[in-house]
């Protein structure tokens, strides 16, 4: 069950590089996702919340993402995950990333600080009491900041079906290249904030590593609202065994009006 939390945090927001003066989000924005396994069994929930703070004298956005198992699954495999990111309000560049997880007894407590001028990331693995320094790629993002950085820079007018979007991420102690394909537009039905509505969306397919977790490279599909908010609405993942799905259940604090059509 643990992989759905990574999917929600990493794959929910999409777009191109280049930062706009205005953002698609603001402090106080909050999302809650419900997760299910194989289409019927409730697996857990995840939340994302953004605030404004100061970090070493720099104005930053501070995001906290939490994930946990619930119900029957929680009795067999308990997950409590927490991710945090501090990134520049103007450029979207991450300064600090925190990953503190407990997944069925498997724990990690990692802090990463980024030096963008030197293209370095300093990783403090608190569990192993180990500090290491690594070279990073240009325009690097952490797993959480990437969501907001990319979400803020989708250029709908330039997207064509089949277009591939690429960017760079640093996670734990490694650099990762990220690639996804734009599949087009689709209107979907969602049940959010207690209302059943239709929403116009942008549909994407990220490329993942096939093997123990995912069936194949194209095992993920996700839908992002086509309005100015660019919010994640639905994520589906075909796994080696069964499938996982995350649906936006509730939100508050959106910067722009949420464009929907109410069901008859």
pTM: 0.87
Residue 31, pLDDT score: 95
Residue 200, pLDDT score: 94
Residue 152, pLDDT score: 75
DSSP codes joined into one string, 49-97: EEEEEEETTEEEEEEEEEEEE-HHHHHHS-EEEEEEEEEETTT--EEEE
Residue 7, pLDDT score: 59
Query: Any alpha helices (H) in the chain, and if so which ranges?
Result: 3-11, 71-76, 143-151
Residue 53, pLDDT score: 96
Task: Report how far apart the first and last C-alpha atoms of the chain are (Å, whole number).
Answer: 35
What are the φ/ψ torsions at residue 100 (nearest 5 degrees)? -130, 110
Residue 143, pLDDT score: 87
Number of domains the chain is built from: 1
Please, which residues have CB within 8 angstroms of residue 111's CB and are 6 or more apart in sequence? Answer: 96, 97, 98, 99, 123, 124, 126
Mean pLDDT by 10 residues, the chain (264 residues): 55 41 84 85 90 95 93 88 94 94 92 96 96 94 85 75 88 84 94 94 75 53 88 83 86 92 66
For β-strands 106-115 and 120-125, DSSP reports them as antiparallel
Domain of 156 in residue numbering reads as 3-262
Rounded CA gap, 4 and 84, in Å?
17
């Amino acid at each position: 069950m643990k992989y759905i939390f990574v999917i929600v945090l990493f794959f929910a927001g999409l777009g191109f590089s280049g930062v706009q003066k205005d953002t698609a989000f603001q402090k106080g924005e909050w999302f809650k996702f419900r997760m299910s396994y194989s289409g019927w069994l409730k697996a857990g929930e995840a939340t994302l919340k953004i605030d404004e703070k100061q970090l070493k004298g720099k104005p930053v956005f501070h995001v906290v993402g939490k994930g946990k198992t619930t119900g029957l699954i929680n009795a067999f495999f308990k997950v409590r995950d927490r991710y945090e990111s501090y990134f520049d309000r103007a450029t979207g560049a991450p300064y600090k990333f925190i990953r503190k997880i407990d997944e069925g007894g498997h724990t990690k407590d990692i802090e990463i600080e980024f030096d963008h001028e030197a293209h370095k990331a300093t990783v403090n693995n608190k569990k192993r009491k180990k500090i290491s320094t690594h070279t990073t790629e240009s325009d690097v993002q952490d797993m959480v900041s990437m969501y907001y950085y990319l979400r803020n820079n989708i250029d709908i007018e330039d997207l064509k079906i089949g277009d591939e979007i690429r960017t760079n991420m640093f996670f734990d102690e490694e650099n990762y290249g990220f690639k996804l394909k734009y599949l087009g537009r689709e209107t979907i039905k969602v049940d959010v904030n207690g209302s059943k509505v239709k929403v116009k969306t942008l549909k994407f397919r990220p490329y993942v590593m096939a093997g123990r977790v995912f069936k194949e490279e194209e095992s993920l599909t996700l839908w992002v609202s086509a309005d100015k908010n660019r919010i994640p609405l639905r994520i589906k993942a075909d796994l080696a065994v069964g499938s996982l799905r995350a649906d936006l259940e509730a939100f508050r604090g959106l910067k722009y009006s949420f464009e929907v059509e109410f069901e008859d």
